[in-house]
Amino acid sequence: MPKAYDLVVIGGGPAALSAALYGARLGLNLIAYERKAFGGALSQIARISNFPGFDGPGLDLGAKIKEQAVESGAQFAYGECTDIRREEKRYRLTIDDEVVLARSVLIATGSEPRSLDVKVDVPVSYCALCDADLAKGKNVAVIGGGNSAAQESLVLSPIVEHITLLSRSKMRASINLQKRMSQLNNINVVEEAKLSSELLNGFDQIFVFIGHQPATSCLGSLEKHEDILDKEGYIQTGFKDRSPHGLILPGLYAAGDVRSGSVRQAITAAADGVEAVLEIAEHLK
C-alpha cells in the first residue's frame, strides 16, 4: 500500500521547512521530500544577515528551522518528485520510484541555476561555497556580470590562484561589490566577453552565475496545462475562486521562489510557506 498523507510538501528550502513547521503544529500528517539538500538555496549562503533575528551561515538557519519542524512532528525524507497526478479526491505523486498519496500538495521547489550554453571539457560548478575546495590554488573563470557573480568571486578569491570574471555584457553588479573586487589583486574582470569552448577550456575550472530559472519538473504532465505557468515559467496561483497560493486544481498549492511574483528572499519564502499551509489547513477542513 502506498503511504498516504494529509499534505506532501515538495522541496526543502525555507518555504518548505516553514510550511512543514506550521503544518505539523496545526496537526497535519505531513512529509516534505527534498531531492538534494535540506535548506535549499540557504545552503549556498556563507552568511545571511538580512533574515530578521538571525545572522550566520545559511546552512545553520535551514538546520534550525528543520529541527523545529521535526520537534513539532513534521516528517522529512530525501527523494525527487517527478510527477503529480489528480486521482479522484487526492493526489498521486511519484517520488523517485515510489508512489505517495496526498490529500493536498505544496510545491516549494524554488529555482535552480541557469546552465552554461557553451560546451566545455573542464569542471563546471554553480556554487562557489560548495565547490571552492575543488578549485584550491587553481586558475578559474567566473561567468556572469551581476551581484551573484561578483559575490561568489569574493568568496573564491582567498582560495583560488586567479579569477577571470567573464561578463557577456557590461558589469551589472553593485558599485560596492565592484569596488571590493577591484581591491583584490587576483581578480581580473573582462566585460563584453565572447564565450567559446576554446576560451573556457583554457581555465582549470569554471564557475557559472548567470541567473536562475524556476524548478518545475515535479509537475510532470501537469506542466502542459495552459494555466499552470506564467511566461517566465513560474507557477501561477490564485485563480478566480482559488485562495492566493492555490493552483488550478483543488488541494494543489505553491509557495516560495517558484511562485510567480515572489520577491525571492529567504524571509519572504518562509512567510509564503506559512501562508500557504494555513490555506491548506483550511482547505482540508
Ligand X SMILES: Cc1cc2nc3c(=O)[nH]c(=O)nc-3n(C[C@H](O)[C@H](O)[C@H](O)COP(=O)(O)OP(=O)(O)OC[C@H]3O[C@@H](n4cnc5c(N)ncnc54)[C@H](O)[C@@H]3O)c2cc1C
Per-residue DSSP letters for 12-78? -SHHHHHHHHHHHHTT--EEEEESS-TTGGGGG-S-EEEETTEEE-HHHHHHHHHHHHHHTT-EEEE
Type of residue numbered 233: G
Q: Which one, 75 or 199, has the nearer CB to ligand X?
A: 75
Residue 264 within binding range of ligand X, rule CB under 6 A? yes
Phi, psi of 248 (to 5 degrees): -70, -25
Q: Is 266 helix (H, G, I), strand (E, B) or coil?
A: helix
**Contact window for ligand X (CB under 6 A) among 105-113, 136-144, 169-177, 182-190:** 105-113
Residues in the chain: 285
Smallest gap from Cβ 268 to ligand X, in A, equals 7
Helix (H, G, I), strand (E, B) or coil at 270: helix
* Other beta carbons within 10 Å of 163: 26
Region binding ligand X by CB under 6 A among candidate stretches 30-38, 86-94, 115-123, 169-177: 30-38
Residue 212, H or E segment: strand 212-214
Which of 31, 42, 120, 276 lies at the binding interface for ligand X (CB under 6 A)?
42
Cβ count within 10 A of residue 108:
32
Establish if 265 lies at the interface with ligand X (CB under 6 A): yes
Q: Which stretch binds ligand X (CB under 6 A): 8-16, 68-76, 177-185, 189-197?
A: 8-16
- Calpha distance 19→237 (Å, rounded): 17
- Binding part of the chain for ligand X, among 116-124, 169-177, 182-190, 266-274 by CB under 6 A, reads 266-274
* Closer residue to ligand X (CB): 92 or 199: 92
Within residues 78-97, the interface with ligand X by CB under 6 A covers 80-81
Nearer to ligand X, 49 or 192 (CB): 49
Q: What Å distances lie between residue 148 and 6, 126, 169, 260, CA to CA?
A: 38, 11, 15, 21
Position among 5, 7, 8, 11 found at the interface with ligand X (CB under 6 A): 11
CB of 199 or CB of 220, closer to ligand X? 220
Closest CA to 23 of 120, 106, 143: 106
Stretch that binds ligand X, among 45-53, 166-174, 187-195, 220-228 (CB under 6 A): 45-53
Give yes or no for residue 35 binding ligand X (CB under 6 A). yes
Distance of CA 191 to the CA centre of its chain: 28
CB of 95 to ligand X, least distance (A): 8
In the complex, what is the shortest distance from the CB of residue 48 to ligand X, in angstroms, rounded to a whole number?
5
Residues in touch with ligand X (CB under 6 A): 10-16, 33-36, 40-42, 44-45, 48, 50-51, 80-81, 108-111, 148, 215, 217-218, 256-257, 264-267, 269
